[in-house]
Amino acid sequence: MEIRTDLAIENRELYKEKRKEEVPGVKVELEEGDDYTVTRVNILDPMGANNMGKPMGLYITIEVPKLKNSDQELRDNISKLLAKEIKGMGYNHKQTKTLIVGLGNWNVTPDALGPKVVDRVMVTRQFFIAYNKDEDETVANVSALSPGVMGLTGIETGEIIKGIVEKTKPDLIIAIDALASRKMERVSTTIQITDTGISPGSGVGNERIGLNKDYLGVPVLAIGVPTVVDAATMINDTMEMIISSMKDKAAVGGEFYSLLEDISKEEKYQLIKEVLEPYMPNVVVTPKEIDLIIDDLSIIIANGLNMALHHGIHLEDVNRYLR
């Protein structure tokens, strides 16, 4: 059964739903704030990686249920929290040269998060070159690029990035990408940060090269926000909720639903796929106002990055660097 998700916390959720236990090989830490929850999922060993279907490493998830209709204050707080979590991972320092990569297709709204963040981060590498400097009190050496997708360029994203890395020799790569969640409630309210980069084949396209330390030779942080739910996944999950809700309500007929639940477990997702597939290979479920949501999210993340990377940049300043 192929539930499509890019979020480590959902892989964990799926494991726990099925096995009714914490995932072996995985350490989980929770931190509750007023308006947010931070979950740090650490996949410790190959068994953990196997259970989770994801590479070993740290996956930090910031969930902010009210983010969609938030005021400026909450958004600023989430930018600060994001900056704190990025710095806390320990990959960037004053002299770190960072390359920010905006993944995804700018012509497809729910996929345009990465390019929009790149449009809004503060880029400084050209000044370090012009003034022949290695370090600065206020700003760090940052370059940024949106490579497009294979359908637009004919070139694998990984090849483009690898070529640029060899020429410009950054110490750290931060890749921004739009993700898929299994649950609508996480869409545009959740930010995942991981130090495992982006695995081959995890995206929607037919890219075969991963963006990770193995391939690129430097650490790769990946920051992602779910912007869509796969339609088949959503229908499956909603049916489960409905059947479970019907079972609870049905005092008498309870056994029907139990039976249905069991039978369907095996066949249901397959059936959904069969029913949907002919006419919707690429159908996604997304909030109607996704255009505006992507704009807002890209500002929150760009602000977070500007504060995380440039030690002299504080919240009062970040709006100056935004377009």
Q: State which of positions 57-76 bind a second copy (CB under 8 A).
A: 71-72
Termini Cα distance of the chain: 43
3-class DSSP assignment, residue 297: helix
Should residue 143 be labelled a site residue for a second copy when binding is judged by CB under 8 A? yes
Window of 13-21, 39-47, 77-85, 108-116 that interacts with a second copy by CB under 8 A? 108-116
**Count of residues that bind a second copy according to CB under 8 A:** 79
Q: Please state the closest distance from residue 227 (CB atom) to a second copy, in A.
A: 11
Should residue 124 be labelled a site residue for a second copy when binding is judged by CB under 8 A? yes
Contact in structure between 177 and 222 (CB atoms under 8 Å): yes
Should residue 48 be labelled a site residue for a second copy when binding is judged by CB under 8 A? no
Should residue 323 be labelled a site residue for a second copy when binding is judged by CB under 8 A? yes
Question: In degrees to the nearest 10, what's the CA dihedral of 141, 171, 224, 46?
Answer: -160
Measured between alpha carbons, how far is 173 from 97 in angstroms, rounded to an integer? 9
Q: Give 278's DSSP letter.
A: G
Smaller CB separation from a second copy, 72 or 132: 72
Smaller CB separation from a second copy, 61 or 124: 124
One of 67, 83, 117, 272 touching a second copy (CB under 8 A): 272
Should residue 17 be labelled a site residue for a second copy when binding is judged by CB under 8 A? no
List the structure tokens of 36.
């947010």
Q: State which of positions 293-312 bind a second copy (CB under 8 A).
A: 295
110: left (phi over 0), alpha (psi -120 to 50) or beta: alpha
Angle at 102 between CA 98 and CA 106, to 5 degrees: 160
Measured between alpha carbons, how far is 136 from 114 in angstroms, rounded to an integer? 27
List the structure tokens of 48.
């953990």
Q: Please state the closest distance from residue 287 (CB atom) to a second copy, in A.
A: 6
Smaller CB separation from a second copy, 40 or 310: 310
One of 163, 201, 254, 312 touching a second copy (CB under 8 A): 163
Smaller CB separation from a second copy, 24 or 127: 127
List the structure tokens of 124.
């400084």
Measured between alpha carbons, how far is 195 from 98 in angstroms, rounded to an integer? 14
Should residue 320 be labelled a site residue for a second copy when binding is judged by CB under 8 A? yes
Should residue 253 be labelled a site residue for a second copy when binding is judged by CB under 8 A? yes
One of 166, 214, 248, 266 touching a second copy (CB under 8 A): 166
Smaller CB separation from a second copy, 56 or 285: 285
Q: Distance between alpha carbon 124 and the CA centroid of its chain, in Å? A: 25
Should residue 196 be labelled a site residue for a second copy when binding is judged by CB under 8 A? no
Q: Please state the closest distance from residue 206 (CB atom) to a second copy, in A.
A: 7
Q: State which of positions 197-216 bind a second copy (CB under 8 A).
A: 204, 206
Q: Residue 4 carries which side chain, given as an amino acid letter?
A: R
Measured between alpha carbons, how far is 313 from 142 in angstroms, rounded to an integer? 13
Smaller CB separation from a second copy, 39 or 143: 143
Smaller CB separation from a second copy, 1 or 292: 292
Should residue 235 be labelled a site residue for a second copy when binding is judged by CB under 8 A? yes
One of 30, 130, 251, 252 touching a second copy (CB under 8 A): 130
- Residue 299 host element (H or E): helix 290-309
- In this structure, the strands spanning 141-145 and 97-102 are parallel
Q: Please state the closest distance from residue 16 (CB atom) to a second copy, in A.
A: 20
Rg (CA), the chain: 21
